[in-house]
Structure 1
């Protein structure tokens, strides 16, 4: 056994020996977890509430207390917000990224703030919530729209004029790249520690891309207070895991899923995504710290305390998809403060909070090398030995759908033409199965933790995808509109413009939907998961738009100088789900699950299918599970609330001890968001955003709050 493996395996024993309190009981301190002031419930991001007015015995009596239609839904729009509750007010966002303040008892609008300032909204805009800070009467709401961080007065919704430049900070500044060429935003809200707002980012997943630095801003002035370089600069820890000058041109390694804060210890915990480009890394040889990592930083200064990298040199888009959860686990009768991180691959990593030592052994296993020119993969990757994966890991012929004989045979025929080696199967020109797929396993909805029982809850997708690399056209001289499209757009929209609808739309006849000018605006600014391409300048953007509208090449254009030293030889052939000919998953059910894991023992407590396809259920094919986005909420009332399922639009309450369904209702659109709960005047409410819009599902823009019927 190597020294690294030995130390990781020994860590749990050392932690047990270090514990000094006998047989500590679990429990929730009086007064804790009764608010919902932070995205995810609190700074520890465990999605738990001590409210218990709604419980196992009476949850069947839930009724709609109020609804609020934002009026902002449009085709394919989404609403992923987990609202926060402050002083009787619910603060949330809309599909068009307006911030709204609602009376939490009635749902009546108090104010709204529109960052678009009347501009037309194009494409999907994703936002999962806002952050809040107060100092006496100075109460502020923070959120990000496009590349601006805004500070608003909580009482009025007006921009705080003393913050940044008349109420906003330009996130493109201070990254060491030309600001006008950068695409950056934030889909998850920042976290507050004392007088700092600590913020991650969403950046392009293709090159060129902005670096995903973690930054802290003064909550009063908007001044940048510290920066942690997730792509290390010369002399910084991890610099040697990249090519010499990578910090000048590489991008990604960004904390897009949110963070958690240990207020007492002064530590902020961030999880990061992959480096750009997601699927081919010949320009970034090495392990690429701090991509795909859990990082503990001193919240006051941004100094690194410890880190763990779950994927070395990622070429599978295996971002950490959710914020770290700050939990307590029991070891040999003693409570240990810990950090839990779920993954897209369906694994759970558990670390001691101060030291980063794993609480369950981690084994480094050899993985296959790449056969693609220029690619050098890591020789081994880490696997936790406990808990077991909460999603299946290898797609075999025995797991092929049996929905119909024709569907099964079609899937078998395709499966036998691609690589199916399991976790860390290298991307290839023939195609490789990624299972669980690019959307997990775990996703951005994150995990819920019950401090009363030590159970961790997470929903999971069980969909296979196919990752195939294709050659990039070489850049010779000045490129044309068609050549720019192939190099910049075809990795998602495919070389034939067909895309992978509904998530990545077809661009065939796009001119019937948008004008050339509107298409240019979308290319320049981005839409949904598509980054902006402002760095192509006006001529490059217009050339692509003209090509898409006319279907003809547009001649030569002037392109900005390449921002990276190695021409990218390969890109991917779109985001391709592995489906049968009828559009259903190629793998046998369950296609989505809800899971409970005992973190004290590292064992799965229960697992159930989550969601259905209504048309299959009507034919007697029930409990298949379905894709799901948005996380769970666990309460002291013995309940687990979850929406998430994209096809049946259900909002469910389950017994948290067993997974038994206790109550469900249909929402006006799928609840692809994490619910929140709060109490006003002695009445407990549970609220969820019904935004839909995922994978072609109908869009909505309504917040729905539930409560027990008032007694006379």
Structure 2
């Protein structure tokens, strides 16, 4: 009994102290009231048991009424408010003495009623779901899918259209549950002790002939037999470790078909490492960017470098850069191969230095590596190849994600990021302002910008356009239009005419919060698409935690941060940024069925915090900590500290769900269905597969049979979904985190295979590995 007395008293003191703090911030009075009631229970527990149990019964009743008022019959909010208090009632009910019956006369029925109400949402339908169906009718049987046939996957999104759609249809809604493991391969490239946090497996293989080609985080290029997964050859680019590199990853490689289309490229098994082979004259070519800023060209048959391309197969991407800090510039995404060009963009480290390398996009001759044009958002008008003694613009907006192309229109579409520092807008030129956080259409012939559509004005939030634009010919009220579908971090999905950049679905401007730091400004309005997954604003009532204690601490933090909704400016006091840096959509993009004109996506909702730290000559300690943490912004007056909005025990402060799958009819722009996705199995020591709807990084694919495949979420599963309804059809346990987009093809026996790279993700903290796994029907 002494232990119970101490426990209730300590909890009461903690709740009271926190409650006073929260009340001073304008928050809920509940925690102060609850704290005082806990203290009363603790003080009276030993001698006045009836009073103690009665006060606790009133606490449960009051908490239940408050919880229902704040969140209704919603399981996770109720469980976090009521769960611990219901458990703590058990010893009060059990440890009874002479006053047992009278002591429990009120507490027992109250406890039973509150417990039943708390559990009742488990028997109800998910209150966050959007239930509906997408039409299965084929709208355009002759739709352009980028590739004929079902057996190949020749670009990151299967083709330069970026649809992630395969006409393969052997695996259906009816038989997908029969999928079984066909083979498993381990690359041998694993995260080392000197690697940066963001060492991640994000690769989607290509399938050419009967070989698969994939890159690893440290830029090994590997060829596998597409039937068996046996290694054919491997090239190690020998990338040195670099602590200032923000990302250590490779999303994929690119392919130039042979000049004779009847030539089949069959990779041959080599007896020595490909990097030891002498360069050869190449017809067909593979291209791999490296994290030390090179572009390598390979012979697909042997893995030997191409002596006809650049300097014996190696192109130094640091040429003409205004600043050349090691680790500050590199390409994580495959280059675009189209219309005789290999077009290379790159990532510039966020918030490391005001004076950083350029974000220039460059078009090289695909066979020789000769520079044909350069489009620099800092100097966008002049695309003539730069002179040997000239330099590109400092820190100009970059395009770190995957580009798409319409080769008939002669246009390439690049999702644009921001000028570093991302949270400080005072260093930007008018040209930077125009092209930041947008999609830009560049001429494949000249590199000239044909049009630009911006998605965030004067971006202070690192809302880079993160996803590959998807090309589809869309039936509209104005007839069939060449469309471009662009998902964004802020939750809007823009549907544009890809020839002109004009919106197909309306774009409106909405008022935005003001209050940037001195010397900077906030745009008065921000654009919003009619097709949107933007979240509702956060409120104190939507704060969450595993227990009422850490939920109270999240409420204190919420009320301490600046927050006025989407686009709240960063501040020295600290601001809540929602959607956060992971975005609602990220580099995994969406998958689109061009025949049925529907979209499958994975919106996620996770708030971040952003704090500007005035340097003023002070020692900030360890800086340049990557995507999350404190970064220096060398040359600026402010450093920036960013990270997820988490409780003290590492749980998101906002209530779940945090991750969904969703389907959109692209002819109407309406969300047909939306369901929470993923479990907490790999988030807790107990390994409970409770479906809560968790965050994820990665992307989906769609097949002609109406089945979508996706891993991505922070539990280690690959899943299949019914595109019509969003229902999960199948799942299989992965040996590591599946933060890469899968792909599918037909092997040499005509069997449909599904491939997933599983190696984990640095900042998500998923299981690290080096696996490539393949599935097929028995």
Shorter-chain TM range is 0.7 to 0.9
Distance in 2, Cα, partners of 1:381 & 1:121: 38
1:654 alignment counterpart: 721
2:752 alignment counterpart: 684
Secondary structure at the aligned position of 2:736 is classed as: coil
Distance in 1, Cα, partners of 2:557 & 2:435: 36
Q: Does 1:612 align with 2:757?
A: no
1:446 alignment counterpart: 589
1:46 alignment counterpart: 163
- Per the alignment, do residues 504 and 372 of structure 1 end up closer, same or farther by CA in structure 2, a change over 3 Å counting? closer
Distance in 2, Cα, partners of 1:630 & 1:367: 30
Question: Does structure 1 retain, via aligned residues, the 8 Å contact 2:761–2:767?
Answer: yes
- Per the alignment, do residues 453 and 152 of structure 1 end up closer, same or farther by CA in structure 2, a change over 3 Å counting? same
Q: TM-score, normalised by structure 1?
A: 0.79
Question: Does structure 1 retain, via aligned residues, the 8 Å contact 2:324–2:357?
Answer: no
Distance in 2, Cα, partners of 1:346 & 1:458: 11
Question: Does structure 2 retain, via aligned residues, the 8 Å contact 1:153–1:160?
Answer: yes
1:19 alignment counterpart: none
**Ranges in structure 2 where 5+ consecutive residues have no aligned partner:** 1-136, 264-282, 384-390
- Per the alignment, do residues 622 and 256 of structure 1 end up closer, same or farther by CA in structure 2, a change over 3 Å counting? same
1:547 alignment counterpart: none
Secondary structure at the aligned position of 1:398 is classed as: helix
1:104 alignment counterpart: 226
2:386 alignment counterpart: none
- Per the alignment, do residues 422 and 295 of structure 1 end up closer, same or farther by CA in structure 2, a change over 3 Å counting? same
Tell me by how many angstroms 1:29 deviates.
Answer: 4.8
1:151 alignment counterpart: 297
- Per the alignment, do residues 42 and 184 of structure 1 end up closer, same or farther by CA in structure 2, a change over 3 Å counting? same
- Per the alignment, do residues 165 and 393 of structure 1 end up closer, same or farther by CA in structure 2, a change over 3 Å counting? farther
Larger C-alpha radius of gyration, 1 or 2? 2
Distance in 2, Cα, partners of 1:703 & 1:619: 24
Question: Does structure 2 retain, via aligned residues, the 8 Å contact 1:28–1:451?
Answer: no
1:61 corresponds to which of 168, 178, 181: 178
Distance in 2, Cα, partners of 1:153 & 1:686: 25
**Ranges in structure 1 where 5+ consecutive residues have no aligned partner:** 1-22, 237-246, 475-481, 494-498, 507-529, 534-561
1:473 alignment counterpart: 616
Q: Does 1:85 align with 2:85?
A: no
1:460 alignment counterpart: 603
1:278 corresponds to which of 422, 431, 438: 422
Matches within 5 A, 1:577-616: 577-614=644-681
Q: Comparing both structures, which one devotes a greater share of its residues to helix?
A: 2
- Per the alignment, do residues 60 and 182 of structure 1 end up closer, same or farther by CA in structure 2, a change over 3 Å counting? closer
2:772 alignment counterpart: 703
1:228 corresponds to which of 344, 367, 375: 375
Tell me by how many angstroms 1:259 deviates.
Answer: 0.5
The CA deviation string for residues 386-412 of structure 1, in whole angstroms up to 9 with x for no partner, is 11x324142112321164222221111
1:126 alignment counterpart: 249
Secondary structure at the aligned position of 1:220 is classed as: coil
Q: Does 1:630 align with 2:746?
A: no
Q: Does 1:265 align with 2:412?
A: no
Tell me by how many angstroms 1:234 deviates.
Answer: 7.3
Tell me by how many angstroms 1:120 deviates.
Answer: 6.1
- Per the alignment, do residues 217 and 582 of structure 1 end up closer, same or farther by CA in structure 2, a change over 3 Å counting? same
Distance in 2, Cα, partners of 1:24 & 1:665: 30
Q: Does 1:199 align with 2:199?
A: no
- Per the alignment, do residues 256 and 222 of structure 1 end up closer, same or farther by CA in structure 2, a change over 3 Å counting? same
Q: TM-score, normalised by structure 2?
A: 0.73
Question: Does structure 1 retain, via aligned residues, the 8 Å contact 2:659–2:677?
Answer: yes
Per mean C-alpha deviation after superposition, the further-off stretch among 434-443 and 451-460 is 451-460
Question: Does structure 1 retain, via aligned residues, the 8 Å contact 2:590–2:699?
Answer: yes
Question: Does structure 1 retain, via aligned residues, the 8 Å contact 2:242–2:326?
Answer: no
- Per the alignment, do residues 425 and 282 of structure 1 end up closer, same or farther by CA in structure 2, a change over 3 Å counting? same
2:5 alignment counterpart: none
Q: Does 1:571 align with 2:639?
A: yes
Question: Does structure 1 retain, via aligned residues, the 8 Å contact 2:378–2:429?
Answer: no
Cα RMSD for the two superposed structures: 2.6
2:400 corresponds to which of 225, 239, 256: 256
Distance in 2, Cα, partners of 1:708 & 1:407: 47
Q: Does 1:217 align with 2:364?
A: yes
The CA deviation string for residues 104-156 of structure 1, in whole angstroms up to 9 with x for no partner, is 11101111111107x56878621100000022361110011111000011111
Distance in 2, Cα, partners of 1:292 & 1:372: 21
Tell me by how many angstroms 1:451 deviates.
Answer: 1.3
Question: Does structure 2 retain, via aligned residues, the 8 Å contact 1:250–1:276?
Answer: no
Question: Does structure 2 retain, via aligned residues, the 8 Å contact 1:693–1:700?
Answer: no
Q: Does 1:115 align with 2:115?
A: no
1:344 alignment counterpart: 489
